[in-house]
Amino acid sequence: MDKQAISALAGRVMERLFVEMEASGRHVHLTEGQIMALFGHSLTPVKPLSQPGQYAAKERLTLVGPKGELQNVAVLGPARKEGQVELSLTDARTLGLTVPVRQSGDVQDSPGITLVGPLGRVILERGAIAAQRHIHLPPADAARFGVKDKQVVKLQTFTARPLVFDDVVVRVSPDFAPRVHLDYDEANACGFTPGDFGRIIP
């Protein structure tokens, strides 16, 4: 085999044993109505994300909390049924919010936050959370790793500052690409750089 073939094979072996990791920065999900109120037009996709169908939009927002604001915050598409803001605990401290650690979409009793766009301002009554660290897996990968949807596992990181995360939620769907999602606090705590992998410990 030539070098390129060996490298490709090594990549496929890695993907069978480990899961690629990604760091998610702070971002916002919006409803169609909120998108119109903030921008006056639909979102403009500029970058596909690793999860099929998901994208980063050209449009950006300012988040305003009781103690501070964060500018130029990413908006992800497509539109959802309820607006949601995913922050690191560092971001939450900057804004002056105490946010629960939750899975995406679970915004019950989470604090509100103000969104400012070029066209207007939207006050979310709730929706500011820290995303619980999680692993997206398609069913075949989940079966191979011996894990199920909603199972809580450990994840050993092969990173510059290695550690074993506990309390990592597995999410299984045929729509998913295999990826570990961390926030920037977690990514920095383990010294993550793009392309790093982790090992699931069921």
Contact residues toward its own copies (CB under 8 A) are 88-90, 101, 133, 160-167, 184-186, 188-191
Q: Is 127 helix (H, G, I), strand (E, B) or coil?
A: coil
Check residue 146 and report its DSSP letter.
T
Place of tokens 């994300």: 49
Q: Could you tell me the two tokens for 2?
A: 């030539």
Which of 127, 18, 35, 133 shows the shortest CA–CA distance to 75?
35
Check residue 64 and report its DSSP letter.
E
| Least distance in angstroms from the C-beta of 78 to its own copies | 29
Q: Is 202 helix (H, G, I), strand (E, B) or coil?
A: coil
| Least distance in angstroms from the C-beta of 183 to its own copies | 8
| Least distance in angstroms from the C-beta of 73 to its own copies | 15
Q: Which is nearer to its own copies, 123 or 160 (CB)?
A: 160
Q: Which is nearer to its own copies, 154 or 171 (CB)?
A: 154
Which of 101, 58, 54, 105 shows the shortest CA–CA distance to 84?
105
| Least distance in angstroms from the C-beta of 4 to its own copies | 31
Q: Residue 23: beta bridge partners? A: 182
Q: Which is nearer to its own copies, 62 or 132 (CB)?
A: 132
Q: Which is nearer to its own copies, 84 or 88 (CB)?
A: 88
